């Protein structure tokens, strides 16, 4: 299924644009224009001549120019007529944000919608969805105002969410944290285009390196498993399963009309397909960060480098807890470090560069560890409260990380100064974490995924 027009259309028609700035159609129109979309935008409202200086048409069929993609934001009673109008206009790609279908028990109307879409050989996302966006083309049809939900900079993560609210909250939070995205897709009731179709599309998408997925139910289990296995061989898929309890399952049925099913069955299928299971939004965000920025490690041996002994101990505990190995540096590396570091520095695992640590000291240790074949991954703890550490540590770590000799992750806890360094590192592609356990747990997922993938 080719879904390019949902993200790269040269012209968009929005059906159901109200003069009321709080109505969904108006928000989509304003968001698309204000966000920098370069294509042509046409709007439909039979009761208005123009909105925000843009000509309104009584029907999509009254527009003479070609339209590649249509967004439907009308009351559910009018949706079927609008689909027929789009068919007459020869529009094949439709996004329906309108609600009022099987999620409220209106199964007959949804069946009629499906029949029309299939009859006209259209591709449809929705209904009852939040919209989709492409961070590169700025084709943004998410009906949340830009001043309420931040839009991300272009990156390599694409996020598919059955729930618009979950997806938008994650997108907003992650963007604030500096995370970059390729695409966001809220797909709602999955009447014709389901999670498997979206996975398959993103598996071939050149802009997408990591796929995040929030599910409440799966439409076709066999199809999903086959698709997920195929895509996971090329790209990591991180999944959160909603409705894992009886209460959650009942809520999901009234939310998108999805039968949630037993968590054990889903998780078993996910593991079979080598999907990465996240148990919370925070975990998904952490996993996505490390998968986007880290290349496959050669093994699971982790070397800790720290300027705080306690954090080094906690990191070592987490390494054992999550099934990774503590690296044992070579004699040559140890000898070189003993010569170059102060006498009271600890040369082992962890390597403790102590409380008067400098940027130069970190540079020495990092360079030596990158040359050591006994070390696969570097876990660098930067406690920026120490007085001699300067912001140019960002340049040191970034330059070494860019050489892609070994994965480097950074652990930092602190206030404004720490956040400044952390954001600078993240902006330059170095994954950073606030606490050791979050970092190592994410790292363990990276190691496990690539080990199974082989």
Q: Quickly list DSSP for 216-231.
A: S--S-HHHHHHHHHHH
- 289 and 167 in a common domain: yes
Q: What is the CATH number of the domain that holds 235?
A: 3.40.50.261
CATH of the domain at 122: 3.40.50.720
**Pairing, β 408-411 against β 432-433:** parallel
- Express each pLDDT in 310-364 by its tens digit: 999 999 999 999 999 999 999 999 999 999 999 999 999 999 999 999 999 999 9
Give how far the C-alpha of residue 230 lies from the chain's centroid of Cα atoms, to the nearest Å.
19
Mean pLDDT to the nearest integer, 9-30:
97
- 236 in the same domain as 339: no
Distance of CA 18 to the CA centre of its chain: 31
- Strand, coil or helix: 72: strand
- The structural domain count of the chain equals 3
pLDDT at 250: 55
Domain that holds residue 64: 1-129
Percent of the chain with pLDDT over 90: 87
Q: What is the pLDDT of residue 256?
A: 47
pLDDT in tens, 32-54: 999 999 999 999 999 999 999 99
Among residues 287, 311, 317, 334, the alpha carbon closest in space to that of 443 is found at 287
Q: Is pLDDT at 422 greater than 50 in this prediction?
A: yes
Q: What are the pLDDT digits (tens) for 229-278?
A: 999 999 999 999 886 655 545 554 444 454 445 678 888 889 999 999 99
> What pLDDT score does 248 carry?
46
Whether residues 284 and 301 fall in one domain: no
Look up the pTM and report it.
0.91
Looking up tokens 């939040």 gives 130
Asked if 63 and 5 count as a contact pair (C-beta separation under 8 A), the reply is no
Say yes or no: 275 and 313 in one domain.
no
In a domain, 135, yes or no: no
User: What's 346's DSSP letter?
Assistant: B
Residue 134 lies in a domain: no
Write down which residue in 129, 163, 178 finishes a domain. 129
Alpha-carbon gap, residue 290 to 304, rounded angstroms: 17
Phi, psi for 142 (deg, rounded to 5): -75, 130
- For residues 109 and 50, membership in a common domain is answered with yes
Q: Is residue 369 part of a domain?
A: yes
Pair (436, 301) in one structural domain: yes
pLDDT of 29 > 50? The answer is yes
Q: Which two tokens stand for residue 94?
A: 């439709």
Q: Which of 253, 277, 293 represents a domain boundary (last residue)?
A: 293
Do 207 and 121 belong together in one domain? no
- Write down which residue in 293, 323, 357 finishes a domain: 293
Length reported for the chain? 454
Other beta carbons within 10 angstroms of residue 230's beta carbon come to: 13
Could you give the 3-state DSSP secondary structure of residue 57? strand
90: left (phi over 0), alpha (psi -120 to 50) or beta: left
**Is there a contact between 51 and 26 (Cβ–Cβ < 8 Å)?**
yes
pLDDT above 50: residue 288: yes
């Amino acid at each position: 299924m080719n879904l390019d027009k949902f993200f790269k259309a040269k012209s968009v028609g929005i059906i159901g644009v109200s003069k009321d700035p709080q109505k969904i159609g108006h928000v989509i129109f304003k968001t698309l224009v204000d966000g920098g979309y370069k294509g042509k935008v046409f709007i439909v409202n039979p009761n208005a001549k123009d909105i925000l200086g843009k000509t309104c048409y009584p029907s999509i069929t009254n527009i003479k120019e070609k339209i590649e993609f249509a967004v439907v934001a009308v009351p559910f009673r009018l949706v079927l007529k609008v689909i027929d109008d789009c068919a007459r206009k020869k529009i094949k790609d439709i996004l329906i944000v309108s609600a009022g279908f099987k999620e409220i028990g209106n199964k007959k109307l949804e069946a009629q919608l499906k029949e029309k879409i299939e009859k006209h050989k259209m591709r449809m996302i929705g209904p009852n969805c939040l919209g989709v966006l492409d961070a590169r083309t700025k084709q943004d049809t998410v009906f949340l105002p830009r001043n309420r939900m931040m839009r991300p900079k272009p990156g390599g993560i694409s996020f598919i969410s059955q729930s618009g609210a979950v997806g938008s909250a994650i997108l907003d939070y992650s963007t604030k944290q500096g995370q970059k995205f390729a695409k966001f897709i809220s797909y709602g009731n999955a009447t014709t285009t389901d999670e498997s179709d979206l996975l398959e599309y993103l598996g071939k998408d050149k802009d997408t390196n990591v796929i995040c997925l929030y599910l409440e139910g799966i439409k076709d289990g066999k199809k999903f498993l086959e698709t997920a296995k195929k895509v996971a061989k090329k790209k990591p898929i991180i999944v959160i399963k909603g409705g894992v309890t009886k209460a959650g399952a009942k809520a999901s049925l009234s939310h998108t009309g999805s039968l949630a099913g037993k968590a054990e069955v889903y998780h078993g299928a996910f593991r079979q397909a080598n999907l990465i299971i996240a148990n919370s939004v925070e975990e998904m965000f952490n996993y996505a960060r490390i998968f986007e920025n880290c290349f496959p490690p050669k093994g699971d041996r982790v070397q800790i480098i720290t300027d705080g002994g306690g954090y080094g101990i906690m990191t070592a505990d987490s390494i054992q807890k999550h099934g990774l190995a503590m690296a044992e540096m070579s004699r040559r590396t140890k000898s070189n470090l003993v010569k170059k570091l102060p006498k009271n520095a600890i040369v082992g695992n962890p390597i403790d560069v102590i409380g008067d640590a400098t940027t130069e000291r970190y540079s020495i240790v990092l360079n030596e560890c990158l040359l050591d074949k006994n070390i696969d991954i570097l876990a660098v703890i930067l406690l920026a409260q120490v007085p001699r550490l300067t912001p140019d540590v960002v340049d040191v770590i970034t330059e070494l990380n860019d050489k892609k000799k070994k994965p480097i992750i950074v652990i930092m806890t602190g206030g404004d100064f720490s956040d400044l360094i952390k954001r600078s590192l993240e902006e330059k592609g170095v994954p950073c974490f606030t606490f050791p356990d979050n970092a190592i747990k994410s790292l363990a997922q990276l190691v496990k995924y690539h080990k199974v993938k082989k």
